[in-house]
Chain A
């Protein structure tokens, strides 16, 4: 595959291009256009004009230069596994009395960093005061502050939005009287998942204000899930925006709030409750459902729309929100104002606040931002804010027995893998684990030879399945290491994982994958029950 010289070649190009083209893009992928797909597949179609990117040398030259180079150091399999498995997390919904009463069997999640530190975040929690499970992936840009804040806060906002007024009053009452508060969420966190402590107070105050408003304003009727999700997204974004404007007593909190507001993050959250699945998405992460056809093959059903320049409707929406004079500048080079790849995101107040407000906030506290060139520059062509919104698009899907799993992933995955491919790999991996049940020859007419080849096949499957118990890890391994035949190629995987810190970002984005396994038995039972009522 890629020769060493090939890689260095392209890295030089990439470096140049970034330098020339996007001065303000040092920190985030959304400001840099390089995606692993561009680089690895040699597809220069998306390359930025004038970047100096050239097609890679022909295969012949390539091969020769490869030979001339000394064999590079290759990671061993245990090393690769240890890198891939560092952040993997699995959660199985506990069975009650031998039966699983949740429509979610469990989920596997994993992350692979290319930025240092990683800017992706993931969250998962079960709602305790209402039903259902919430899972989300958050792709941060311009730093990880916003993604971090969203990952800690968004699920709370959603849960609060979903709670009936009565429960909110109980909670408020408990907080007021300093009694123990009913827990709202049960988190499923990887030990490496970071939780910020210093800002906890601020976050809690904002959340409390939110539910107090809900109590004061809302009707007795609770919101339907779709509206609740939208409400929660918007509310959190406006809270982030407000927190950055007010001056808190604690300078660190202050600093963090501003960092959160200046950085940005997309969000893709799924809420699964019984046969109801809602996916709320803002940005270019994606949720894809794995559907098993009656013949056993797999097809992908996308449950979110990406909010970026590849989505014509979204481009149209953005353009329509601004005067015709800005039509050329609002979306340039497939980016919002020529800078931002996702068209919807949390934070990024530069795209939301007026220039006056930005100046006022930033210049009032220059000490917070010293030395950071990026934060002080303002977007060009900034005339009629806001350009950016955190309003999610919510998709509803009624789960069917053939819906086996849901993949939530940031664009790091979707850039290098087609959704059909993703569903294929996950589907096969999950069913292999299931199929590997003991077999019995009793009652069948089997010859020794047939049994032997069956056993060998099972053994081969076992050995590959054993490598990754975690489906998300399995998916990442395939995403990085698959060759054209869909087999994992060790040398390729090794190269992709041993890229030096600064270089990794030019080949692949941060990758976050959550694979939710659905309880199709239970869903089938629900469906039958509902059908019979109808």
Chain B
């Protein structure tokens, strides 16, 4: 993370040109956000020079994000870079934003980016000689309620293990740190001393100065009209001032990124939408405010407050945001956006409640600064699936200043090395497809996202807007039976079924860090899976069909997959698709339908990611056909010991393990419907079958199963039951437990890697090397010992794991196991060398010989570590069980 330390050259340069820079620097004490950027003639940029006719990289967008990418690319040695800005540098959101750099983020990768940004900004002035307005003020996040305090405690325990000093402090300490805060209604607060404020336009200036010095060319007043794509690769761009041939294009156009994405030969979907964002700037207080007074984040009041030249700057995230530019009204810069005082009133009330003494302070201005928000509150980064070398970095969700440094670094690494140095899947643009690009959807969704920024993040919350987009044909039927829904990649999936007559709490009241109200309901569904049979609609899975006229399909899959796919027809193979570092690019099940075609089942959110991975590696061969058949099949998962009875009754075919071995697929008729792909796997380790049903038969097959199943005690179940089952069986889940950095060897899946299958597959060398050297982390299962399910806080994910009192990793997922009557957490165990923090090899012995604790919101619970599932504890055992258990598969 700190690899981007200051190269010698830059330091030298800064020393050499102090005189030249002196007219670039202007006092940051005497300007307002609006008047920050007055002069551009002395800047090392030009808007009269003709554009070059070619460049290696073209970056579009001269805000803090674009300039950070340029800066980091030039640091990594890519200097043939052109940055185009349609107006002037730092004229958009960057000019107007509040300039708070805070590591208080809810996803680890975001915290890492913010932490890096903070450290970068801190030394940027020294490196470039440009004053950046950096002041390490620290930040205080206030809690009005116990629930908020719990969420802050969770943050503290996560941030601390990431090396970011922070602590929970009492209201009294808050008053000591900040002279204005009214503490009477506070229950506590979180203090992060390292957080800082900057002047974003000055940081842009610093980035640009350094980048220009390294050879980057910057042009103002040049807008990109079109991005040329040939054969799936970026080849050049068309601007209003001419054409530029380029190999790479980076879309950092902020809130115009959506529109810029569409201005391409192959439209690139960048699902973000701007909202108006208001903050108030006051004149200096009578008694003045120290420049290093901490930033206050009054989360429950929905506001933030920072010092602004002796006065305060306070904005917030109101409950009723105002989306803007839905029709895509483009403009060069934000001209004078209208101030809307009536809209700002709730935030002003919150401000005066928090700092009553501000009452007599004079108002300077209410600034309207549109910010872009994304469909899931996380920024958008990475290479588009539509065109190779088309990179995007946008949608900062009003944390642009916090993320710009780190995000720019990761994107530059991605472009230069082919992959970033951290797992950025949560931010990867490929988590979205075109289905998230509807303007109406985005408009509605960002209205939910913006208030959520400061809202309490409780476990298992779902977005309420933009729902019911993709549904199974059984949706209405299940809904009528009490289904409660969650959404994944636009697809509605059942969480659980509320029995008739049972009223669950309203959404707002069911937000809890403790035992949720559906505990018994899911328990009953799990029991039914264990003892009788349950049906779960799992239609959301991504399904591809790969077929060829000859052996090409097998050939390409053998190259992509670590497992051996040259298996008899009808066999199912669980396999990873690895990258050249041996990490999981995808974790899927492949069915050999016949000699020349395969059916690939991947996690739901792999629809774009996996497709693009396959396409990237497929030869341009018209004989080889890849088809996305996700929408063609409804998938029903029949879980439980009686599943075979139900199926055999419906098909007049014996379904016992002897006739239908595990991990086997057969096309057969179920009820009246023919051509159902029945597969003996359940993704849970329980006995049962997956049924892939052409959608027009879905309702029929479902009805038949429910009718016949009645005498076997069949019932509907949801994903919460599935989750509990798969976690207690130690099944890892791509996207949650596994990512592009985890290898099969680290999670005990060596048996799914066939080094000697006769074909060289991607990642083989890396895995061989890792096998040689040993793994630095191991996927481990923890059973919480002294955790009281009723009274203690529940684990979720992201809880630190301590071994003999030392931090060794974080949990990646957890669930209550109804079988064990304990909580089960999954996570990776590392061994950090004391002092240096270097990662050492972790062998099973290291894992087994340790006393473990899991820290939930500051409280540690003893845990037993296991490298293998508790197969002995499960009573319902079948002969073939072990086979599936050991070759587990989860999505």
Q: Which residue of A lies closest to B336 (CB)?
A: A442
In the complex with contacts A441-B366, A448-B351, A459-B361 CB distance below 8 A: no
User: In the complex, which residues of chain B have a beta carbon less than 8 angstroms from the beta carbon of A117?
Assistant: none
Tell me if A445 is interfacial: C-beta within 8 Å of chain B.
yes
User: In the complex, which residues of chain B have a beta carbon less than 8 angstroms from the beta carbon of A251?
Assistant: none
CA distance A110 to B281 in the complex (A): 47
Which residues of A (444-461) have their CB < 8 Å from a CB of B? 445-449, 451-452, 455-456, 458-459
**Which residue in A438, A445, A448, A451 is a CB contact (below 8 Å) of B340?**
A438
Interchain CB contact under 8 A, A448 and B358:
yes
Which residues of B (263-290) have their CB < 8 Å from a CB of A? 280, 282
Interchain CB contact under 8 A, A462 and B342:
yes
CA distance A462 to B342 in the complex (A): 10
Which residues of B (149-189) have their CB < 8 Å from a CB of A? none
Interchain CB contact under 8 A, A451 and B361:
no
Would you give the 0/1 interface string for B587-611, flagging 1 where the beta carbon is closer than 8 Å to chain A?
A: 0000000000000000000000000
CA distance A439 to B366 in the complex (A): 11
CA distance A458 to B341 in the complex (A): 10
Which residues of B (323-377) have their CB < 8 Å from a CB of A? 338-342, 344-345, 348-349, 351-352, 358-363, 365-366
Tell me if A440 is interfacial: C-beta within 8 Å of chain B.
yes
Q: How far is the CB of A464 from chain B (nearest CB, A)?
A: 15
Q: How far is the CB of B360 from chain A (nearest CB, A)?
A: 5
User: In the complex, which residues of chain A have a beta carbon less than 8 angstroms from the beta carbon of B344?
Assistant: 455
User: In the complex, which residues of chain A have a beta carbon less than 8 angstroms from the beta carbon of B365?
Assistant: 441-442
User: In the complex, which residues of chain A have a beta carbon less than 8 angstroms from the beta carbon of B363?
Assistant: 441, 446-448, 451
Interchain CB contact under 8 A, A446 and B362:
yes
User: In the complex, which residues of chain A have a beta carbon less than 8 angstroms from the beta carbon of B342?
Assistant: 438-439, 455, 458-459, 462
Interchain CB contact under 8 A, B339 and A441:
yes
Interchain CB contact under 8 A, A455 and B341:
yes
In the complex with contacts A447-B360, A448-B352, A438-B341 CB distance below 8 A: yes
In the complex with contacts A438-B340, A441-B339, A441-B365, A449-B345 CB distance below 8 A: no
CA distance A441 to B362 in the complex (A): 10
Would you give the 0/1 interface string for A430-442, flagging 1 where the beta carbon is closer than 8 Å to chain B?
A: 0000000011111
In the complex with contacts A441-B365, A447-B362, A447-B363, A455-B339 CB distance below 8 A: no
Q: Which residue of A lies closest to B355 (CB)?
A: A448
Q: How far is the CB of A286 from chain B (nearest CB, A)?
A: 38
Most buried by B among A451, A458, A459, A462: A451
Would you give the 0/1 interface string for A349-384, flagging 1 where the beta carbon is closer than 8 Å to chain B?
A: 000000000000000000000000000000000000
User: In the complex, which residues of chain A have a beta carbon less than 8 angstroms from the beta carbon of B361?
Assistant: 447-448
CA distance A59 to B341 in the complex (A): 47
Most buried by B among A440, A447, A448, A452: A448
Q: Which residue of A lies closest to B340 (CB)?
A: A438
CA distance A241 to B338 in the complex (A): 64
In the complex with contacts A441-B363, A441-B365, A441-B366, A449-B341 CB distance below 8 A: no
User: In the complex, which residues of chain B have a beta carbon less than 8 angstroms from the beta carbon of A455?
Assistant: 341-342, 344-345, 348
User: In the complex, which residues of chain B have a beta carbon less than 8 angstroms from the beta carbon of A446?
Assistant: 362-363
Q: Which residue of A lies closest to B358 (CB)?
A: A448
User: In the complex, which residues of chain B have a beta carbon less than 8 angstroms from the beta carbon of A438?
Assistant: 338-342
CA distance A290 to B348 in the complex (A): 37
Interchain CB contact under 8 A, B359 and A449:
yes
Interchain CB contact under 8 A, A449 and B360:
yes
Q: How far is the CB of A451 from chain B (nearest CB, A)?
A: 6
Q: Which residue of B lies closest to A445 (CB)?
A: B362
CA distance A70 to B57 in the complex (A): 80
In the complex with contacts A441-B363, A441-B365, A446-B363, A451-B341 CB distance below 8 A: yes
User: In the complex, which residues of chain A have a beta carbon less than 8 angstroms from the beta carbon of B358?
Assistant: 448-449
User: In the complex, which residues of chain B have a beta carbon less than 8 angstroms from the beta carbon of A458?
Assistant: 342, 345
**Which residue in A440, A445, A459 is a CB contact (below 8 Å) of B345?**
A459
User: In the complex, which residues of chain A have a beta carbon less than 8 angstroms from the beta carbon of B280?
Assistant: 448
User: In the complex, which residues of chain B have a beta carbon less than 8 angstroms from the beta carbon of A447?
Assistant: 359-363
Q: How far is the CB of B610 from chain A (nearest CB, A)?
A: 50
CA distance A21 to B679 in the complex (A): 91
CA distance A68 to B360 in the complex (A): 52
Q: Which residue of A lies closest to B351 (CB)?
A: A448
Interchain CB contact under 8 A, B339 and A448:
no
Interchain CB contact under 8 A, A449 and B338:
no
Interchain CB contact under 8 A, B341 and A441:
yes
User: In the complex, which residues of chain B have a beta carbon less than 8 angstroms from the beta carbon of A441?
Assistant: 339, 341, 363, 365-366
CA distance A439 to B362 in the complex (A): 16
CA distance A441 to B344 in the complex (A): 12
Interchain CB contact under 8 A, A448 and B359:
yes
Interchain CB contact under 8 A, A456 and B341:
no
Q: Which residue of A lies closest to B311 (CB)?
A: A448
CA distance A441 to B365 in the complex (A): 7
CA distance A101 to B360 in the complex (A): 47
CA distance A293 to B67 in the complex (A): 61
Interchain CB contact under 8 A, B341 and A439:
yes
Q: How far is the CB of A274 from chain B (nearest CB, A)?
A: 37
CA distance A452 to B346 in the complex (A): 9
Interchain CB contact under 8 A, B338 and A452:
no
Q: How far is the CB of A446 from chain B (nearest CB, A)?
A: 5
Interchain CB contact under 8 A, B338 and A451:
no
Interchain CB contact under 8 A, A449 and B362:
no
Would you give the 0/1 interface string for A56-89, flagging 1 where the beta carbon is closer than 8 Å to chain B?
A: 0000000000000000000000000000000000
User: In the complex, which residues of chain A have a beta carbon less than 8 angstroms from the beta carbon of B341?
Assistant: 438-441, 451, 455
User: In the complex, which residues of chain A have a beta carbon less than 8 angstroms from the beta carbon of B362?
Assistant: 445-448
Q: Which residue of A lies closest to B341 (CB)?
A: A439
Q: How far is the CB of B247 from chain A (nearest CB, A)?
A: 48
User: In the complex, which residues of chain B have a beta carbon less than 8 angstroms from the beta carbon of A440?
Assistant: 339, 341
Q: How far is the CB of B309 from chain A (nearest CB, A)?
A: 16
Interchain CB contact under 8 A, B366 and A449:
no
Most buried by A among B280, B338, B344, B363: B363
CA distance A446 to B359 in the complex (A): 10
CA distance A449 to B358 in the complex (A): 7
CA distance A122 to B365 in the complex (A): 50
CA distance A445 to B280 in the complex (A): 14
User: In the complex, which residues of chain A have a beta carbon less than 8 angstroms from the beta carbon of B340?
Assistant: 438
User: In the complex, which residues of chain B have a beta carbon less than 8 angstroms from the beta carbon of A445?
Assistant: 362
Q: Which residue of B lies closest to A458 (CB)?
A: B342
Would you give the 0/1 interface string for B365-395, flagging 1 where the beta carbon is closer than 8 Å to chain A?
A: 1100000000000000000000000000000
Would you give the 0/1 interface string for A163-182, flagging 1 where the beta carbon is closer than 8 Å to chain B?
A: 00000000000000000000
Interchain CB contact under 8 A, B366 and A448:
no
In the complex with contacts A441-B366, A446-B362, A451-B348 CB distance below 8 A: yes
Q: Which residue of A lies closest to B282 (CB)?
A: A448
In the complex with contacts A438-B340, A442-B365, A452-B360 CB distance below 8 A: no
CA distance A139 to B352 in the complex (A): 54
CA distance A355 to B342 in the complex (A): 69
Which residues of A (369-402) have their CB < 8 Å from a CB of B? none
CA distance A438 to B278 in the complex (A): 15
Interchain CB contact under 8 A, B352 and A449:
yes
Which residues of B (625-639) have their CB < 8 Å from a CB of A? none
User: In the complex, which residues of chain A have a beta carbon less than 8 angstroms from the beta carbon of B352?
Assistant: 448-449, 452
User: In the complex, which residues of chain B have a beta carbon less than 8 angstroms from the beta carbon of A448?
Assistant: 280, 282, 348, 351-352, 358-363
Q: How far is the CB of A457 from chain B (nearest CB, A)?
A: 10
Most buried by A among B338, B340, B342, B352: B342
CA distance A439 to B338 in the complex (A): 10
CA distance A336 to B360 in the complex (A): 68
CA distance A192 to B344 in the complex (A): 41
Would you give the 0/1 interface string for B66-108, flagging 1 where the beta carbon is closer than 8 Å to chain A?
A: 0000000000000000000000000000000000000000000
15 A-B pairs besides A438-B339, A448-B348, A452-B349 with CB distance below 8 A are A438-B341, A442-B365, A445-B362, A447-B361, A448-B358, A448-B363, A449-B359, A451-B363, A452-B345, A452-B352, A455-B341, A455-B348, A456-B345, A456-B349, A458-B345
8 contacts between A and B (CB under 8 A): A440-B339, A442-B365, A447-B359, A449-B358, A449-B359, A452-B352, A459-B342, A459-B345
Q: Across chains A and B, which 8 residue pairs bring their CB atoms closest together, nearest first?
A: A449-B359, A455-B345, A448-B358, A446-B363, A441-B363, A448-B361, A447-B360, A439-B341
